[in-house]
């Protein structure tokens, strides 16, 4: 049972028996993410004081400009997970290909791979808006002791054993699930410890917030346009409130607490969608479902999609269950 004000370390130890295939390895993995998050949080919070704002001058695999903090966060998480030798492979949104982790004897018997978006919403850093980290954990499917392959990473989201996000905002929080509900831990920066502040987080079944970049309205599918019009109508509990930060972690976090839907559809400019299935949509869909919410690509449950490539993109509808269901109805009618 989650107890408020319990430290994250205490919570991990107390609930270790709930982890499938429990051996302590997943606990150590979560602990490593906790450590890396504190390092990144420190840099994010002093971003205005040092030369880490703005673009790094390179682009990532998606052709997007890499921000300096993107590179820093990517290196911090990879270094922490690699040095502790608790995973056998890592895939990052910022890397072209997956990373194979070899042990000291060139053999790695660890069970888990991690997929990560090191700094989601980093373009907002320059204007002091909340950003985040998203992570996802799977058991490898290839034989233990052998190098990981692409098959270890191209698994549907319903095989995740853990997922979570860190939000670097007015306070820094880790929110994660290992398949037994969702809990949020807030960092006390004075002593560097995370405390359970949001036990058993749940999406309200209904909400009154819709989060979508309406600047792309003319490029949206007709079903999304119709749903937005529905949200704006004077009827029942409507019109809904439009809230869009532009950082997935921040928008998702607010909607889980207050009730709402986040939509990033395919467009005429991006017919396959923009968000990454493995680094953003799967982990967020896992958390949403664990918190009583829902997530789909407009027709199909996100967690049931079979990935075909490491940087695959999909449309994303995620949030309060009844709101996602209504949006899907409009997609089907169009």
Q: DSSP labels for 21-63?
A: T-SSHHHHHHHHHHHHHHHHHHHHHTTTTTTT-SEEEEE-TTS
Selected residue with higher pLDDT from 44 and 65: 44
Closest to 249 (Cα-Cα) out of 69, 121, 125, 76: 121
Kindly give the interhelix angle for 282-290 and 248-258, rounded to the nearest 10 degrees.
10
- List Cβ neighbours of 122 (8 Å cut-off, separation of 6 or more): 67, 69, 70, 73, 131
Q: Return the domain boundaries, the chain.
A: 8-198, 209-333
- List Cβ neighbours of 303 (8 Å cut-off, separation of 6 or more): 156, 157, 158, 160, 282, 285, 286, 289, 295
Structural fold of domain 8-198 = Fructose-1,6-Bisphosphatase; Chain A, domain 1 (3.30.540)
Distance CA 65, CA 22 (A): 40
Confidence of residue 57 (pLDDT cuts 50, 70, 90): low
**pLDDT of 177:** 95
Q: Kindly list the distances between the CA atom of residue 313 and the CA atoms of 230, 264, 289, in Å, as whole numbers in the listed order.
A: 27, 11, 20
Asked if 207 and 256 touch (Cβ cutoff 8 Å), the reply is no
Q: What is the mean pLDDT of residues 316-334?
A: 97
Q: What is the mean pLDDT of residues 225-239?
A: 95
Closest to 177 (Cα-Cα) out of 236, 136, 220: 136
SS3 of 150-162:
HHHCCCCHHHEEE
Q: Is the pLDDT of residue 52 over 80?
A: no
Q: What is the mean pLDDT of residues 235-241?
A: 93
Dihedral of CA atoms 257, 190, 31, 250 in degrees, nearest 10, equals 30
Selected residue with higher pLDDT from 133 and 51: 133
Confidence of residue 70 (pLDDT cuts 50, 70, 90): confident
Q: Is the pLDDT of residue 49 over 80?
A: no
**pLDDT of 46:** 75
Q: Which two tokens stand for residue 8?
A: 């994250």
Closest to 120 (Cα-Cα) out of 79, 158, 69: 69
On whether 303 is known to bind a ligand per the annotation, the reply is no
Of the candidate ranges 37-46, 74-83, 259-268, the one whose mean pLDDT is the lowest: 37-46
On whether 244 is known to bind a ligand per the annotation, the reply is yes
Selected residue with higher pLDDT from 26 and 241: 241
Q: What is the mean pLDDT of residues 324-333?
A: 97
On whether 58 is known to bind a ligand per the annotation, the reply is no
Confidence of residue 24 (pLDDT cuts 50, 70, 90): confident
On whether 22 is known to bind a ligand per the annotation, the reply is no
Distance CA 282, CA 149 (A): 19
**pLDDT of 85:** 78
pTM of the shown model: 0.92
Kindly give the interhelix angle for 25-45 and 68-83, rounded to the nearest 10 degrees.
150
Name the percent of the chain lying above pLDDT 70.
90
Q: What is the mean pLDDT of residues 34-46?
A: 87
CATH number of 209-333: 3.40.190.80
Q: Kindly list the distances between the CA atom of residue 38 and the CA atoms of 41, 247, 299, 311, in Å, as whole numbers in the listed order.
A: 5, 19, 38, 27
On whether 122 is known to bind a ligand per the annotation, the reply is yes
**pLDDT of 19:** 62
On whether 213 is known to bind a ligand per the annotation, the reply is yes
CA-based end-to-end distance of the chain: 45
On whether 126 is known to bind a ligand per the annotation, the reply is no
**pLDDT of 184:** 96
Residue 230, helix vs strand vs coil: helix
Asked if 310 and 97 touch (Cβ cutoff 8 Å), the reply is yes
Check if 8-198 and 209-333 are the same fold.
no
On whether 117 is known to bind a ligand per the annotation, the reply is yes
Asked if 318 and 212 touch (Cβ cutoff 8 Å), the reply is no
Q: What is the mean pLDDT of residues 284-309?
A: 98
Confidence of residue 54 (pLDDT cuts 50, 70, 90): low
On whether 247 is known to bind a ligand per the annotation, the reply is no
The per-residue pLDDT for range 111-156, each reduced to its tens digit, is 899 999 999 987 787 777 889 999 999 999 999 889 999 999 999 9
């Amino acid at each position: 049972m989650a107890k408020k004000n319990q430290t994250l370390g205490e919570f991990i130890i107390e609930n270790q028996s709930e982890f499938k295939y429990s051996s302590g390895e997943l606990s150590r993995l979560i602990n490593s993410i906790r450590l890396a998050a504190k390092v990144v949080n420190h840099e994010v919070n002093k971003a205005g004081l040092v030369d880490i704002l703005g673009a790094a001058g390179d682009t990532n695999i998606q052709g997007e400009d890499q921000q300096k903090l993107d590179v820093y966060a990517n290196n911090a998480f990879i270094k922490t997970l690699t040095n502790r030798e608790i995973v056998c492979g890592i895939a990052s949104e910022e890397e072209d290909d997956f990373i194979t982790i070899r042990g000291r004897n060139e053999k790695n018997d660890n069970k888990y791979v991690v997929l990560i978006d090191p700094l989601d919403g980093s373009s907002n850093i320059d204007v002091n808006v909340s950003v985040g980290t998203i992570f996802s954990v799977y058991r490898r499917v290839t034989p233990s002791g052998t190098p990981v392959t692409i098959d270890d990473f191209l698994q549907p989201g319903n095989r995740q054993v853990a997922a979570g996000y860190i939000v670097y905002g007015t306070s820094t929080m880790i929110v994660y699930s290992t398949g037994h509900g969702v809990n949020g831990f807030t960092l006390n920066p004075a002593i560097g410890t995370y405390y359970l502040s949001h036990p058993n987080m749940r999406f309200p079944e209904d909400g009154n917030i819709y989060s979508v970049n309406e600047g792309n309205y003319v490029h949206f599918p007709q079903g999304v346009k119709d749903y937005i019009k529905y949200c704006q109508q004077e009827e029942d509990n409507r019109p809904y409130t439009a809230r869009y930060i532009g950082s997935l972690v921040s928008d998702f976090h607010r909607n889980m607490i207050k009730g709402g839907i986040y939509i990033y559809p395919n467009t005429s400019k991006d017919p396959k969608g923009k968000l990454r299935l493995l680094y953003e949509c799967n982990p967020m869909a896992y958390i949403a479902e664990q918190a009583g919410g829902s997530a789909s690509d407009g027709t199909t449950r996100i967690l049931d999609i079979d990935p075909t490539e490491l940087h695959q993109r999909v449309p994303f509808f995620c949030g309060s269950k009844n709101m996602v269901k209504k949006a899907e109805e409009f997609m089907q009618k169009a």
